[in-house]
Chain A
C-alpha cells in the first residue's frame, strides 16, 4: 500500500533532550512537510522540502531541524532550544508533478510528543 508513515505514535522525553521524529513515504512525492498542531488550533508549518538535499523554514522553524537525504524520508529533530515542544506533529507529502491537477497533501498519522 502506498502511503506516509510516522513513528512512533507517542513519544515521551525529558526536557533538555533532543528527539527525532520519523517520516517515511512511498508515494514517490518530491515535496514533504512538517506541521505542528496544538490543542484547538490549526496546523502551523515548521519546515518543508521540495527536493532531496533541500529544505526551507516554515513559520515556526526555531528550535527544530530537518534533513532530506532521501526522497522517501524527512526526519524532524525537536531540539532542546524549542521552548514548548509538547504537541502533535504531522508530516505530509505532495506531488510536485505539474501534470497533476491536484495540490492535495497526504498526511501521516501523526506523532504526539510529550516533554516533561
Chain B
C-alpha cells in the first residue's frame, strides 16, 4: 500500500555542520507533508510543513525541499546544534489520519 518511509535510520553530524534528513513517499497524489521532531521520552513536535504546489519552504534554520518528480522530500537543518539531537519523522495526511515514516535519529557530536 501507500507509505511514507525514510532512507536512513541514523545520522551523525558534527556540531555546526548542516544536516540533511531524507524521506521518500509513494503516493503521487500526496499534496501535503509535515516534518516532526521527537526528543527522547517526549511527544513529536511540529517543525515545518510543505504543500505540493511548493518546491521549497524555509523556517528558522530549517528548510524543506520537495521533489515531486522522484517523490522525495528532505529536511535541512543549518548549523546543527546539540539541541537538534532527536528523531525526525516525515508525515502525510492519509484520509482521516496521518501516516508517519519510521524516523531518522539525528545525533550531534560536540
Contact = CB atoms under 8 A, between A and B. Distances in A.
Interface of A: 6, 31, 33, 40-43, 45, 48, 50, 56, 58, 90, 92, 94, 102-110, 112
Contacts of B100: 42-43
Contact of B42 (A45, A56, A106, A110): A110
A107 B47 CA distance: 13
Describe A's contact surface by its main secondary structure: strand
B59 interface: no
Interface residues of B, number: 21
Given A43-B89, A92-B98, 10 more contacts: A33-B97, A40-B9, A42-B100, A42-B102, A48-B96, A90-B43, A103-B49, A103-B98, A104-B34, A108-B43
B86 to A, nearest CB: 13
